[in-house]
């Protein structure tokens, strides 16, 4: 599974100016609603419910909020680089500045897990994260996210 299968150029937000986890999830839900045609509030509620199960702040300034919705026709991603790091209740207690939202149909099963693993592998690469933190435009971020390393199997 390629990152390009999950995200479109319209799914990149930079710089996202928020001051809290809730604001970040609201902004991501808003963009995801535009991309998926789903109700923004339903998306936000799915993300909040997932966060109640445990934080999606995975450490090293990265969060991968995700959720499943019955009405989705496919998987969707939204990537945001924040203007300023925020508290995301991360497992390492460090603030987050890179967020990759992943949404999948309820029926996605293993594909949802493969997509999460693919995003996680990409964002565990410190060199890639440094490049993402240095990119100035949505186009540059999209190019980095979907560059040659996406050919790795999920």
**What is the pLDDT at residue 109?**
84
Q: Mean pLDDT of all residues in the chain? A: 93
**Which tokens go with 113?**
């897990």
Domains of the chain: 3-147 (3.40.930.10)
Give pLDDT, residue 151: 38
Q: Which residues are designated catalytic?
A: 66
pLDDT at 90: 97
Q: Which residues of the chain have pLDDT under 70?
A: 148-154
The C-alpha atoms of residue 58 and residue 124 are separated, in whole angstroms, by 9
Are 50 and 10 contacting, i.e. CB atoms less than 8 angstroms apart? no
CB 11 within 8 A of CB 76: yes
The pair of three-digit structure tokens given for residue 3, joined into one six-digit string: 């990152």
Angle formed by the axes of helices 138-145 and 126-134, to 10°? 160
pLDDT, residue 148, reads 55
Angle formed at CA 102 by CA 120 and CA 26, multiple of 5 degrees: 120
Residue 146, CA distances (Å) to 4, 12, 66, 76 in order? 5, 12, 19, 14
What does the pLDDT read at residue 153?
38
Position 150 scores a pLDDT of 38
């Amino acid at each position: 599974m390629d990152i390009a299968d999950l995200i479109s150029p319209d799914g990149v937000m930079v710089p996202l100016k928020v001051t809290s986890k809730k604001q970040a999830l609201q902004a991501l839900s808003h963009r995801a609603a535009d991309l998926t045609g789903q109700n923004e509030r339903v998306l936000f509620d799915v993300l909040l419910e997932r966060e109640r199960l445990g934080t999606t702040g995975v450490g090293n300034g990265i969060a991968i909020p995700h959720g499943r919705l019955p009405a989705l026709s496919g998987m969707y991603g939204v990537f945001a680089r924040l203007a300023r790091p925020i508290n995301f209740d991360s497992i390492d207690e460090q603030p987050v500045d890179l967020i990759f939202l992943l949404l999948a149909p309820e029926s996605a099963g293993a594909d949802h897990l493969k997509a999460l693993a693919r995003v996680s592998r990409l964002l565990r690469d410190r060199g890639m994260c440094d490049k993402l933190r240095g990119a100035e435009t949505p186009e540059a971020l999209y190019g980095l996210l979907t560059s040659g390393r996406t050919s790795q199997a999920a």
